[in-house]
Amino acid sequence: MKFGVIIFPGSNCDHDAFWTVEKVLKQRATFLWHESHELENCDAIIVPGGFAYGDYLRTGAIAKFSPVMESVRTFADGGGLVLGICNGFQILCESGLLPGALMRNAGLKYVCKPVQVRVENADTAFTNACRVGEVLTIPIGHMEGNYYCDDATLAELRRDQQIVFRYCDAAGEITTEANPNGSLENIAGICSPGRNVLGMMPHPERASEPELGGTDGFKIFQSLVEAGVLAAK
């Protein structure tokens, strides 16, 4: 399976994602330049974390106009797998690939720490290696992770089971105290109606090797490979 990792000016988690795919997951990986339309026949695209274009205006507001995102939209519309991590989640929302928006954290402080998230939907290309209700420990590092959408959109997310991850405590309980950024209904990650596009604020690439303190994040990448194998059959 071949993964493409996008590089924007200001990306700082692109090499982490590339390392995880190539060295840990043992799959092919290539970098995709933001000014290019070419996706190099990749099977999955990763929109990584960082500060694309300096996060000027709003997070992801400039990145959505980059040539590579035009190709990513076409790729996703055709059922291609797209994973947006942190700033990548913000870019996917700005690009219209996912609904809602990521606002400033409640308390207006940058938050960087391991958190627990509960798997709400294991029937996606990104969570098939998980089980519903499973609690994963994955780090976050963001200033704008406060997910928000209007009531109609929230109703759709619930109805179509597009809420994939929620912040929780170690026992899997969804509590206000477990919410690190004020996100609506503790939402930490959502998917598209077709379940081929996922945006998540936690960084799975930072929890994919024992040396990093945990491997729960590796299940996201493992799931993608499994989805790719099934799609090829």
**Is residue 142 annotated as part of the catalytic site, yes or no?**
no
Which residues lie across from 148 on neighbouring strands? Answer: 101
In whole angstroms, how far apart are CA 129 and each of 78, 84, 231? 24, 18, 15
Is residue 69 helix, strand or coil?
Answer: helix
Which position among 42, 86, 130, 168 bears the catalytic label?
A: 86
**Is residue 203 annotated as part of the catalytic site, yes or no?**
yes
Q: Cα separation of 172 and 119, whole Å? A: 9
Which region, left, alpha or beta, applies to residue 87 given φ > 0 means left and ψ of -120 to 50 means alpha?
alpha
Which position among 94, 120, 144, 205 bears the catalytic label?
A: 205
**Is residue 37 annotated as part of the catalytic site, yes or no?**
no
Is residue 155 helix, strand or coil?
Answer: helix
- Buried-exposed string 29-58: b where 16+ CB fall within 10 A, e elsewhere: beebebeeeebeebbbbbbbbbbbbebeee
Which are the catalytic amino acids?
86, 203, 205
